[in-house]
């Protein structure tokens, strides 16, 4: 029976306080996101009880309602029924700032990382898959590394990471409320080939007599984030100094002139030192006990995803890729997280007689297995019935032990899933790591399925009426 998206959207809007309580509505891959005028007017517990809703969580500036793959249909229904609600993707920065005051520093950092990195992740995953495609084509399809096809594909595969500062400058401009064009200009300047080539002169050059640490900021996150954050305050200063009558040209001019030494002498080097420090820590851990990190992250994976803390790992993964060319400490742990959700959903689908859970579990299983999207299962099944969450944890621990023992590596960025398994292919053409990753996925699925089946679950929370 097809879902009534109009009814589902109306119920959600009613439970969050009505259309008048929603200042903006938008959505991501699986969640309907709403910025609220009055958070106290929303009843998330009632939202969670709505048939078709997998879960609901507080977020910066409002709430997120987990719908699943058809969230766009609920969004379309909501804006059709209530055209008075503003829709769009840009978050009201003032609302974010007001809510940030109620959070601790660590939560603020996670929220910033999430909002800055989240929009870029699909593009990074595309690049990772292109890298895997190149490996397949050169190994089995006879593609020559000297051909123009190889060159073009290789550029496409490296483009997202190489120009990462520019993409982050764009998302940072939205987050910090800076001028987007100036933000992109500053990021482009930091990775300009002539700026990078200054390292041939020596470790230090000068700008107006000020010391500039030569560095290659391509594929980095922290330097550009700090720089665009600083730009926010420089723009405010320029607005005070330059009269409105000549602001069109001279405010951007003054802003750029001030940002040159700030970016190249202060924020860029500070970000570089922070990145080097994190990389040194990662390298030290990897040299002494490469199994330690994957074991810890794997055991904590469900908690990391539930709290959004997994976003804090992404800069570390980027550093691993840019320095050693693979990650054997962090993202391999998410074989357990992603494939466990397939095992949990499959067990729930086969065991339950509840029609609502069976429909949900079937959709969740396909989503987790093919695309590595875990939120529908995690919020819609694991959290609602609790025991499947225990099964998830057991499977994640089993995968972590396996990956730690056999040193499974990730060679390209991507969420582990059926279609993205080539990210585990070694570019040198050897297949042992790929086979180990498949074994880890199979182990995870079997353990998650068995644990869910044995522990059982109470599916009465889904009701009996469709």
What residues are labeled active site?
28
* Residues 354, 459: Cα–Cα separation, whole Å: 7
Q: Within 13 A of 93's CA, how many CA atoms are on the CB side?
A: 11
- Token pair 């644990």: residue: 451
Any alpha helices (H) in 352-431, and if so which ranges? Answer: 355-371, 375-377, 383-385, 387-406
**What six digits make up the tokens of 441?**
């996925």
Looking at 40-178, which runs of residues are DSSP E strands? 55-59, 62-66
Cα 464 from Cα 45, distance rounded (Å): 19
Query: Is there a contact between 33 and 77 (Cβ–Cβ < 8 Å)?
Result: no
Q: Distance between CA 53 and CA 380 in Å, rounded?
A: 7
Give the number of other Cβ atoms within 10 Å of residue 37's Cβ.
14
Q: How far is CA 94 from the centre of its chain?
A: 23
Cα separation, 229 vs 280, whole angstroms: 25
Residue count (the chain): 466
Residue 364 to residue 379: CA distance in whole angstroms: 10
Q: Are 344 and 392 in contact (CB under 8 A)?
A: yes
Q: Which has the closest alpha carbon to 129: 164, 153, 150?
A: 153
| Secondary element (H or E) of residue 76 | helix 71-81
| CA-closest candidate to residue 328, choices 275, 399, 414, 404 | 404
Contact (CB, 8 A) for 207 and 258: no
């Amino acid at each position: 029976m097809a879902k009534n998206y109009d009814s589902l959207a109306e119920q959600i809007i009613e439970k969050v306080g009505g259309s008048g309580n929603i200042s903006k509505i938008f959505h991501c891959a699986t969640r309907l996101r709403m910025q609220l005028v009055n958070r106290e007017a929303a009843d998330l517990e009632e939202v969670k009880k709505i048939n078709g809703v997998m879960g609901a969580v507080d977020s910066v500036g409002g709430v997120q309602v987990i719908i699943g793959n058809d969230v766009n249909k609920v969004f379309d229904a909501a804006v059709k029924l209530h055209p008075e609600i503003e829709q769009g993707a840009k978050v009201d920065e003032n609302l974010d700032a007001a809510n940030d005051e109620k959070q601790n520093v660590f939560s603020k950092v996670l929220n910033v990382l999430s909002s800055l990195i989240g929009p870029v992740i699909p593009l990074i995953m595309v690049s990772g898959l292109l890298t895997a495609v190149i490996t397949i084509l050169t190994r089995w399809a006879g593609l020559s590394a000297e051909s123009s096809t190889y060159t073009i594909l290789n550029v496409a595969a490296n483009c997202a990471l190489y120009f990462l500062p520019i993409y982050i400058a764009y998302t940072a401009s939205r987050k910090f409320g800076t001028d987007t064009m100036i933000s992109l200009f500053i990021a482009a300047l930091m990775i300009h080939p002539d700026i990078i080539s200054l390292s041939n002169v020596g470790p230090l050059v000068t700008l107006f007599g000020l010391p500039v640490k030569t560095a290659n900021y391509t594929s980095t996150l922290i330097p550009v984030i700090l720089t665009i954050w600083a730009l926010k305050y420089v723009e405010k200063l320029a607005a005070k100094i330059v009269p409105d009558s000549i602001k069109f040209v001279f405010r951007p001019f003054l802003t750029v002139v001030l940002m040159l030494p700030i970016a190249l002498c202060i924020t860029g080097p500070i970000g570089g030192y922070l990145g080097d420090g994190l990389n040194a820590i990662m390298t030290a851990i990897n040299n002494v006990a490469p199994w330690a990190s994957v074991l810890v992250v794997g055991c904590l994976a469900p908690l990391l995803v539930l709290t959004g803390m997994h976003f804090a790992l992404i800069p570390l993964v980027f550093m691993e890729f840019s320095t050693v060319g693979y990650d054997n400490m962090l993202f391999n742990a998410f074989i357990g997280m992603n494939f466990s959700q397939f095992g949990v959903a499959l067990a729930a689908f086969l065991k339950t007689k509840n029609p609502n859970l069976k429909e949900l579990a079937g959709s969740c299983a396909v989503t987790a297995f093919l695309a590595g999207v875990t939120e529908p299962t995690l919020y819609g099944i694991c959290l609602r019935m609790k025991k499947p969450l225990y099964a998830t944890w057991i499977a994640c621990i089993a995968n972590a032990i396996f990956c730690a023992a056999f040193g499974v590596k990730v060679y390209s960025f991507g969420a582990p899933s059926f279609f993205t398994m080539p990210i585990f292919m070694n570019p040198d053409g050897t297949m042992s790591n790929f086979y180990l990753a498949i074994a880890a996925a199979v182990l995870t699925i079997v353990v998650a399925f068995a644990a869910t089946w044995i522990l059982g679950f109470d599916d009465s929370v889904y009701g009996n009426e469709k």
